Chain A
Amino acid sequence: MKRRMAATAALLLVSLVGCATDEPAATPSDGSSAPPAGAGTGEQSKFFVQADYDNELALLDAAPTGPADKPWEQVLNPKMVDTAKFKKDGPYKICFSNAALNNPWRQVGFKTMQAEVEAQGDRISEFVHVDAEGKDQKQIADINDLLGKGCDALIVSPNTTATLTPAVTAACDAGLPVIVFDRGVDTDCPVTFINPIGGYGFGHVGAEFVSQQMKPGGKVLALRILPGVDVLETRWSAAKVAFDKAQVDVVGVEFTDGDPAKTKKIVNDYIQRHGTIDGVWMDAGAVAVAAVEAFQDAGQPVPPINGEDQLDFLKMWKDEGLTAIAPTYPTYQWRTPIIAALRILDGQQVSDPWKLPQPTITQENLDSYLDPNMPPLHYAMCGCTDLPGYPQRWK
C-alpha cells in the first residue's frame, strides 16, 4: 500500500513534468525487454532504450584513442568525418550559444572553456558567448542572432533537445560548421556531437558499486534530482536495471530537486522510518554531502554511497573514510568543442559522434583528484590544471 502510493505519486509527477517539457525523441523501449518490476524500483523509465544502454555499458570498457594525459582530446570508437569544406584561414571568430550557467557544473565548465579559448588565443580573434539562462525561446533567438554576426564556427549546448533542433538545423543551413555538446539535438547536421559516455554509464557504475559493497539483503535509498530529464532518466534507468539484477531491496526512490535541505530531510525521514539504510545511490553528486551529513547527524555509520567529482564530496569521502565511488560527467568536455572547432576550421578530420571517456573516481585514485585548495563546489574532473589562470580562475 505504502509503496503503491509512493509509486502513484511519483508517476503523477513524472507525467506532469512530461507534459510541461519537451520530450527528447528517445523511442520508448517496447516493454518486452524491460526486466520485471520488483524490488521497489518501480516501472522502467520511458526514456530507457535498450540499445543505447548496451552501447554505453560497452563503451565503459572501450579503450580510447588519443593522448592518454588529455582525456578531453580522446575519442571512444572514433568515426572520422571529412571537414575539408570548412577549411579557412585564421584567426577565427568562434561563437557559443550556451543553454545556461545556472549550476556549479556549468560554471566550472564554462570557466574551463574560457581558459581553453585563452590558451588558443593566437588562433581565436574573438569568442562570443550568449547565455540563454535556461530558456528555450531565448536560445532560439540567440542562435538566430549569432548567425548574423559573422561567426566562423558555432558551438551550441542546447537547453532541450526537441525544441532547439530547428534552430540548430537553421544554423547548419547557414553554411558554418556547427558543434553540439553536452545535451544533444535530433539532427545529424552538426559536424560533430561531443559528449561523454552518458547517463547509463553513470547510473550503472554507482548502482553496481552500492549493491556490491552493501550488506546482503540491505535497504537502498535512491535519490534523484527530478524526473523527466533525459540525462537524469538514463542514469536512474541503468541503476534500476543493476538493482533489479542484484535483487536489492530499494526502499525508496525520492526526488530532491538538487536541494541539500530537502535531501537531508528525506534521508533523515528514511532513517527514522526504516531504522537503518544500508546503501545510497544518487543520480547526481550535488547533494551527496547533505546525504552523508544526515547519517552523521543521526549518529549512524554512513553506508556505501556514490557521489560525483565535486570537491566537497571528495573531501568528505577522504576525511570520513567513506565507502564511496564517484562516477563523473566530466567538465573537461567544455574544452573539447573549442579544440574541435579549430580542427574543423583547419580542415582536419574529427570524429562524429565524439564520445569522450568518462572516468570514475575510486578509493585507489581519490588522492590524485582531491585538491584541498580548490573550493567545495569545484569539479575535480575539469581537466583544467594545465590551462591559463589555474587555479585562481576557478576559485
Chain B
Amino acid sequence: MQLVKRRPLPPQLTRVRAGGLLPLLAILAVLLVLVAVRQPDFLAPASLMSFLGRSAPIILLAAGQYFVIVSGEFDLSVGSLVTAQVVVAARLIDSDPSRTWPVVLVLLAGGVLVGLVNGLITTRLRVPSFITTLGMFLILVGAVYLWSNGAPKGGLSEEFRRFGRRAFEDVPVFGRVPYALVVLLVLATLAVLLMRSDFGRILVAVGDNARTAELSGARVRRTRTIAFMLSGLAAAVAAILIGGYSGVSFQAGAGLEFGAITAVVLGGVALGGGRGSVVGAMLGALTLELLFTLMNFYGVSGALRPTVQGAIILFAVAVSSRRSTSR
C-alpha cells in the first residue's frame, strides 16, 4: 500500500500499452528459428506437443503469478506450495488408485486456502506481500520437512500420475496430445476470459492505483485476496501436473516461484502492478522454456539456468522501468 501511494499518479487506469506483446513475440520467433536451425526435429508435432505438455505447469504458474503481480503484489510461496502438495498427495494417496479424485479435490482446495491466507494476511494485517509469501514459503518448507521427517513417504497412483504423464494418443495432425496441454489450454482460456470480465479490469485498476480504484468503488482488499487464491489454485494444478510428470520429489517445486516471476516479467508485466496481459505472462513462460531448450541443444550446462533467469529478471525490469519513466 505504502509503495503504491508513493508512486506518482499514472494518467490512465487500465490502458494497456498497444503492441506490448510485440517484443516478446519477436524474441519467441527468433528462438524458434534458432531451434529450427539447430534441431529441426524439435518442431515435429510429436516433440513439440511433448514440449508444450512439459511446459504446462510453469505456464500455469506464470498465469497465477500474473494475477497477483498485476494487482500490485508478489507471490513467493508457489514453489514451496507445489512441493508441499506433491508430498502431501503421495502420503494421502499412498499408491491407492481409489483415492485419486478425492486427493485431487483436497489439493485444489488446499491451494485456494493457502492463497486465501496469503491474501488475508497481506490485505487485512497489512503485511507486505513479499514478506507474507516469503513467510508462507518458509512455513510450508518447514511443515513438509517436519511432517515427512525429510523423506517423502507413500506413493502416487498411476491414475494420479496420468494427468502429467499420459496423452491422448493418435490424434489427427498432432499425433499425441498430452493431457497437461489440454488442461493448460482450458485454463488459459478461462484466464483470458476472466481478465476480460469486470473482475479482470478491476484487478488491473487495483494494481495500477489502489487508492483511485478504491475511490471508484472497487473492493481492493477482496480483489487482491482473490488474486492470491487464483495463484494458489494455479499452484495446485501445477503440482498435480508436476507430481504426475516426475513422481514424488522433495524438490518438485524448488525455484518455480522465480521461474514464474521471470516469465511474468519477460511477458511485459510491470512489477508493482497495473500493466501487462495474462497472455503475455504465459507467452513469457513459454519463451523462457524455449530458451532453456535451446540452451540444451547448444550444450549449455543446465547449471547456468538460474543465472540466465536472474539476468532476464534484471534486464526486463530495467527495460520496463526505463520505458515507464520516459513516457
Is A22 an interface residue when CB atoms closer than 8 A count as contact?
A: no
A261 touches B250 (CB 8 A): no
B150 touches A259 (CB 8 A): no
Given known contacts A103-B151, A104-B151, A2 and B298 CB-to-CB distance under 8 angstroms: yes
Q: How far is the CA of A34 from the CA of B50 in the complex (A)?
A: 42
Is A367 an interface residue when CB atoms closer than 8 A count as contact?
A: no
Within 8 A of B (CB), among A57-96: none
Output the least CB separation between B129 and chain A (Å): 27
Is A245 an interface residue when CB atoms closer than 8 A count as contact?
A: no
A255's contact among B155, B252, B297, B303, by CB below 8 Å, is which? B303
Interface hit among B109-117, B208-216, B239-247, B263-271: B239-247
A260's contact among B150, B154, B248, B302, by CB below 8 Å, is which? B248
Is B143 an interface residue when CB atoms closer than 8 A count as contact?
A: no
Is A339 an interface residue when CB atoms closer than 8 A count as contact?
A: no
Given known contacts A264-B246, A376-B155, A9 and B301 CB-to-CB distance under 8 angstroms: yes
Output the least CB separation between A294 and chain B (Å): 9
Is A289 an interface residue when CB atoms closer than 8 A count as contact?
A: yes
Is A149 an interface residue when CB atoms closer than 8 A count as contact?
A: no
Given known contacts A103-B150, A269-B296, A289 and B301 CB-to-CB distance under 8 angstroms: no
Is A30 an interface residue when CB atoms closer than 8 A count as contact?
A: no
Which residues from chain B contact A258 at a C-beta distance below 8 Å? 251
Is B299 an interface residue when CB atoms closer than 8 A count as contact?
A: yes
Is A254 an interface residue when CB atoms closer than 8 A count as contact?
A: yes
Is A297 an interface residue when CB atoms closer than 8 A count as contact?
A: yes
Given known contacts A257-B251, A375-B153, A377-B153, A9 and B245 CB-to-CB distance under 8 angstroms: no
Is B13 an interface residue when CB atoms closer than 8 A count as contact?
A: no
User: B253: nearest residue on chain A (CB-CB)?
Assistant: A261
Chain A, 165-191, contact with B by CB distance < 8 Å: what is the 0/1 string? Answer: 000000000000000000000000000
Is A262 an interface residue when CB atoms closer than 8 A count as contact?
A: yes
Output the least CB separation between A366 and chain B (Å): 20
B149 touches A107 (CB 8 A): yes
Interface centre among A102, A258, A376 (most CB of B within 10 A): A376
Is A130 an interface residue when CB atoms closer than 8 A count as contact?
A: no
Is A10 an interface residue when CB atoms closer than 8 A count as contact?
A: yes
User: B250: nearest residue on chain A (CB-CB)?
Assistant: A259
Output the least CB separation between A8 and chain B (Å): 8
Tell me the count of chain B residues lying within 8 A, CB to CB, of chain A. Answer: 35
Is B26 an interface residue when CB atoms closer than 8 A count as contact?
A: no
Given known contacts A260-B248, A273-B296, A102 and B151 CB-to-CB distance under 8 angstroms: yes
A9 touches B250 (CB 8 A): no
Is B123 an interface residue when CB atoms closer than 8 A count as contact?
A: no
A5 touches B303 (CB 8 A): no
User: B165: nearest residue on chain A (CB-CB)?
Assistant: A297
Given known contacts A2-B298, A269-B302, A377-B151, A261 and B252 CB-to-CB distance under 8 angstroms: yes
Within 8 A of A (CB), among B46-87: 47, 50, 54
A297 touches B50 (CB 8 A): yes
Is B249 an interface residue when CB atoms closer than 8 A count as contact?
A: yes
Which residues from chain A contact B154 at a C-beta distance below 8 Å? 375
Is A124 an interface residue when CB atoms closer than 8 A count as contact?
A: no
User: B242: nearest residue on chain A (CB-CB)?
Assistant: A261
Which residues from chain B contact A6 at a C-beta distance below 8 Å? 299-301
User: B53: nearest residue on chain A (CB-CB)?
Assistant: A297
User: A8: nearest residue on chain B (CB-CB)?
Assistant: B301
A10's contact among B155, B249, B301, by CB below 8 Å, is which? B301
Output the least CB separation between A326 and chain B (Å): 19
Q: How far is the CA of A255 from the CA of B301 in the complex (A)?
A: 10
A101 touches B302 (CB 8 A): no
Output the least CB separation between B14 and chain A (Å): 38
Within 8 A of B (CB), among A338-384: 375-377
Given known contacts A102-B151, A273-B297, A254 and B245 CB-to-CB distance under 8 angstroms: no
Q: How far is the CA of A301 from the CA of B188 in the complex (A)?
A: 35
5 cross-chain CB contacts under 8 A: A13-B303, A259-B251, A262-B302, A272-B293, A290-B247
**Sample of 20 further A-B pairs with CB below 8 A, known A261-B242, A293-B246:** A2-B299, A9-B301, A101-B150, A102-B150, A254-B302, A257-B251, A259-B250, A259-B254, A261-B245, A264-B246, A265-B302, A269-B293, A272-B39, A272-B41, A273-B39, A293-B165, A297-B165, A375-B153, A376-B95, A377-B152
Closest 10 CB pairs of A and B: A2-B299, A102-B150, A261-B246, A9-B301, A259-B251, A269-B296, A260-B246, A260-B249, A104-B151, A6-B301
